[in-house]
Structure 1
Amino acid sequence: MTTILVVDDEFLIADLLATELEDQGYRVLQAHHGKKALEILAHERPALIVTDFMMPLMNGLEMAQAIKSQPQYRDLPIILLSGAQGAIARRYPELFAAVYDKPIELWRLSQAIRALIGPARLAGEGG
């Protein structure tokens, strides 16, 4: 099953994204800050990460830098959603596959995800 990690400290946004992605057939893991996301990566290998920028403990930029510093995650696509820091994130195209300003229409995010990793695959469908 194709797994996506959603990282956002706003629980309502994280739940909304998770519900939308699960409805499309993806398995969704959630973290509410960058440090928790790194803990999850120690045990799971998502196909893609969707993250907020402004979060406690470790923001989205710091998290992306920590992830991309590890050779096994250099090709892991990260989509950043930001209410105010999108311009900062856009200076780091090597870290983010896409940067969108909040609020984002869910169909646009879904389209970007499918473009990066394809449609959700069920367990046993190979990959």
Structure 2
Amino acid sequence: MATILIVDDEYLIAQILEFALEDEGYGVVTASNGKKALDVIDRERPDLIITDFMMPTMDGLEFARAVRKRPELQKVPILLMSGAQGSVGRASPDLFAAVFDKPFKLEDITLMVNQLLGRPPGIDRS
């Protein structure tokens, strides 16, 4: 089962994404900021990361740069969610596979995740 790491200091957003992605058949772990997410990465091996931009301790851009410094995570897709800093993410295609402006459509994120990871076995939504 593919594992997705969600990094967001807004608990409700992280929880909504977690429920939606688990419903799609993915394993999900969460962290409330970039620094905590790096600790989670040490324990888990996420196949995809979804991060917010504006967070305490370490913002999404700093977090993505820290992830990309790790050789084993070079190819892990990172999706950025941002309320106001989407242009920063779009200017860094080497860091982010996609950028979603808040408010986003949950269906758009799940579609992108399915495209990047493939639909988990046993999940048929047709």
Alignment TM class, shorter chain as reference: over 0.9
Identity %: 52
- Cα RMSD after superposing both structures: 1.0
Count matched residues.
Answer: 122
Deviations 1:36-88 (A, max 9, x none): 11001111111100110000000100000000011111101000010110001
Q: 1:10 is matched with which residue? A: 10
Find the residue that maps to 1:17 and give its secondary structure. Answer: helix
> TM-score, length-normalised on structure 2?
0.94
Q: 2:50 is matched with which residue? A: 50
Please list every run of 5 or more consecutive structure 2 residues that lacks an aligned counterpart in the other structure: none
> TM-score, length-normalised on structure 1?
0.93
List structure 1 segments (4+ residues) > 6 angstroms apart after TM superposition: none
CA change 1:121–1:2 in 2 (3 A) is farther
Q: 1:91 is matched with which residue? A: 91
Please list every run of 5 or more consecutive structure 1 residues that lacks an aligned counterpart in the other structure: 123-127
| Distance across 2 between alignment mates of 1:114 and 1:25 | 10
Q: 2:100 is matched with which residue? A: 100
